[in-house]
Amino acid sequence: MTTVYRNTRTGPLPDTFRTSREPIAFHEKLPLYAPTPLVDTPSVAERLGLGRVLVKDESQRFGMPSFKLLGASWATYRGLVEVLGGEPAPWSEITELREACAQLRPFALAAATDGNHGRAVARMAKLLNFEARIFVPTGTTAARIEAIESEGATCTIVNGDYDATVARSAEEVSKRCLVIDDTSWPNYEMVPRAVAEGYGTILYEIAEQMQEAPDVVFVPLGVGALGAAATDYFKRNSRATLVGVEPETCACVLAS
């Protein structure tokens, strides 16, 4: 059963967050970057009585089964800029950025995850020759753990739920470890904000792929980062109606 809630408490967009083209310029320098397909589904449109239904296919982003590396990579880069005390020397490919970060080693990236975000952080650590420490909650499937470990990460199962896993990952913060979580807590907002900014690449790609602005945009919500990016982009650049989607069994945004 589908339940639709109308948000009557909308207000002006905050000045503390804004999507931009800066992340896409960064992503274009990463190995295997290519815009993902925007798939036209005429049979779905016909069944629903709509003019067009387009689906952004993120199942092969950077050769991974999700879009999460967009956020993890940009958040890692912004975190490294702070650690380094400024932007690294101009670079055009990942080997040059890796060399610019050599002074930090030994260095690690850490994250809490229930799957794809942690794998993305592990991939970024591998690209930079950093250690990856990924924490997952009890009950995480063996397949997800194996996928994370396939990126060279150390995967630790935390005795608890996702919130307990986030708390455990936060303990890794040090001069030699940058925590890349996609959810915030007091005094930890820069990284999750950068994760959401990184997802803006999806939206700029859509703008270039579409011949006209959409009337309605459906966005899966999850932890909220993609929803935040989509809200900011489409509210600033179009008159589209935004619809957030989440399963009834895990309606985190609704509960929040």
Tens digits of residue pLDDT in 174-206:
999 999 999 999 999 999 999 999 999 999 999
Q: In degrees rounded to 5, what are phi and psi of residue 78? A: -65, -35
The predicted-structure confidence for 55-76, as pLDDT tens digits, reads as follows 999 999 999 999 999 999 999 9
User: Are 57 and 36 in contact, with CB atoms under 8 Å apart?
Assistant: yes
Domain ranges of the chain: 17-210
- The pLDDT, as a whole number, for residue 255 is 83
**For residue 168, what pLDDT is reported?**
97
Could you say which residues of the chain have pLDDT below 70?
none
Strand-pairing partners, residue 185, are: 188
User: Known catalytic residues?
Assistant: 68, 114
Q: What is the model's pLDDT at position 246?
A: 92
Give the residue among 255, 225, 231 at the shortest CA–CA distance from 243: 231
Cα–Cα dist 18/231, whole Å: 10
pLDDT computed for residue 18 by the predictor: 87
Q: What is the number of helices (H) and of strands (E) in the chain?
A: 11, 8
Please tell me the predicted confidence (pLDDT) of residue 142: 96
Spatial separation of the C-alpha atoms in residues 177 and 204, rounded to whole Å = 31
Domain 17-210 annotated CATH 2.40.100.10: no
Q: At what angle do helices 225-237 and 200-209 cross, to 10 degrees?
A: 40
Q: Which residues pair with 98 in a beta bridge?
A: none
